[in-house]
Amino acid sequence: MRSKLRPKVLDAWWRGAVIYQVYPRSFSDSNGDGVGDLPGITAHLDHIAELGCDAVWISPFFKSPMRDFGYDISDYRDVDPLFGTLADFDALVERAHALGLKVLIDQVISHTADAHPWFVESRSSRDNPKADWYVWADAKPDGGPPNNWLGMFGGGAWQWESRRQQYYFHGFLTSQPDLNFHNPQVQAAVLEEVRFWCERGVDGFRFDACNNFFHDAALTDNPPSTDAQRARTSTVKRDNPFSLQWHVHDKSRPENLAFLERLRMLLDDYGVASVGEIGDEAAPPLMADYTAAGKRLHMAYSFQLLQGDGSAARIRQEVELLERELARTGGWGCWALSNHDVMRVASRWAPDGVVDDNVSRLLMTLLVCLRGSVCLYQGEELGLPEVEVPFERLQDPYGIAFWPEFKGRDGCRTPMPWIADAVQCGFTVNVPWLPLSGSHAERAVDRQRADPFSTYHHTRRLLAWRRDEARLRVDDIRFHEAPEGVLLFERGALPHDPSQRAPGSLVVMINLGGEAVVIPRPALLHGAQPIQGATVDPARCVEDSGAVDADWILAPHSAAVAELPR
């Protein structure tokens, strides 16, 4: 192990950074077994660097029974042989750093696999040294579970263990028992697992389910959710009974804040950044509290645009809500439109259900212009749509359990298409663990590299612009009234009084509709000069009358940016 202790002062590279998420199983297979691996990632890091990203986030690659594809860890300190070795990981970090990329890894510490040695010992008896490392409880007098808590993947959250004659709590699969963070030994142990990777040279962590660390020690029943609360549920499909409860006792507990402060102290010792996954029915206030300036996590990963409709009104509502909460604590958000758990945005927000590459480019423009850091999911830079995976090829236990009403997460996890005409699109020489799609082959990396008007090149232009533009990376955001279907907002050092002009601010216009829209220039934006091509695909540029103070005519599914005079 190589010591990587760094100065306590962390530079703020993460603030406004663009982070590229890699799902290892599906990125690139180097050994022909049909499953992606660490050497495969290393071989394609130049793609991520050339795209203009600041960092790469790698989903779990640790030893695991793979019942939840790596989010059930049996050894925090080793690489699963499916993905390679620790030496392969070291080589990946070295190559990434040579390319100027930071490396973030997923750290799943709310629960382990039931194959983890900690749980194997804990389940063996009620009086072993790790007996209290997990959440155990006696049955009710009638033999039932201790309370009404539900698991994320359907059904009750308690599993009977005959060795101890007790139930254990699992917030996810039955094979993912929850650790008992009320035990100081557990907190110390998981912090040492984090330290291991800090010393191995990582630049940051994405903490999975980080509001699930603590539970109510009294095991109080959760209350039923209201219709209004269910309408804002962002963590599961609404046909899952999980959303019928308001989860105030099994997660998002106040005790979590003190632990996050301990975690932050450790991260600061190594100059390592963090982003927390916070899945909750009322996520924005938690996100603000979890990233309170300088005290806890550095960034909070938002689910708010990973579900629900893609209307301009709703996007504005979600962004403004989070911004108000972050202003309260000095926290920082991280936006995403796609990831490994939700339908790809190219399909989810497709107009009338028809995937349109122009819309994919437009949504990339929107994402890059929001305030906060940004996560791109592998293939999003290609505008990849969701894949229809037949039932017999499904791998995701979540989808298998809820088929056909919910088809699971396999459709967004299919392999990356590198070369359109190669065997398996260049992902592998064997049968891939999930099928590739013809629509993905049409959008393969090699074809888009050859097309200057492709979504890939549009993304490159956007990221190069954002990297050099502090107004986009770190400055304020303020929305203005606009025609239906249009987002109109400013980015810059904005005065507190919204009626005052902000000289030099950027004005971003996003037309999410399928018709051209006339945007009258309000007095506040008088004199704004269009920045031609700054965020718009050159093939679909804003129509402008040529007069500085005339109205803008925004083409369907297009965007434009202007600058106020300084």
SS3 470: helix
Catalytic residue among 208, 318, 380, 396: 208
Q: What's the CA dihedral at 527, 533, 539, 540 to 10 degrees?
A: -40
Q: Which two tokens mark 238?
A: 């609404």
In terms of Cα–Cα distance, which of 56, 136, 40 is closest to 99? 56
Q: Which two tokens mark 463?
A: 């990221």
Q: Bridge-partner residues for 560, per DSSP?
A: 509
Check the CA dihedral 284-289-290-293 and report its sign: positive
Q: Mind spelling out the 3-state secondary structure of 499-542?
A: CCCCCCCEEEEEECCCCCEEECCCHHHCCCEECCCCCCCHHHCC
The question of whether 261 is a catalytic residue gets the answer no
The question of whether 208 is a catalytic residue gets the answer yes
Q: Which two tokens mark 435?
A: 């099928």
Tokens 């996100």, located at residue:
287
In DSSP notation, 371-428 reads SSEEEEETTGGGTPPPP---GGG---HHHHHHTTTS--SGGGSSPP---TTSGGGGS-
Q: Bridge-partner residues for 506, per DSSP?
A: 491, 563
Catalytic residue among 277, 380, 476, 563: 277
Q: In what order do the strands lie in the sheet with 136-137?
A: 136-137, 166-169, 158-161
Distance, in Å, from the CA atom of 412 to the CA atom of 392, rounded to the nearest integer, reads 17
Diameter over CA atoms, the chain: 80
Give the active site residues.
208, 277
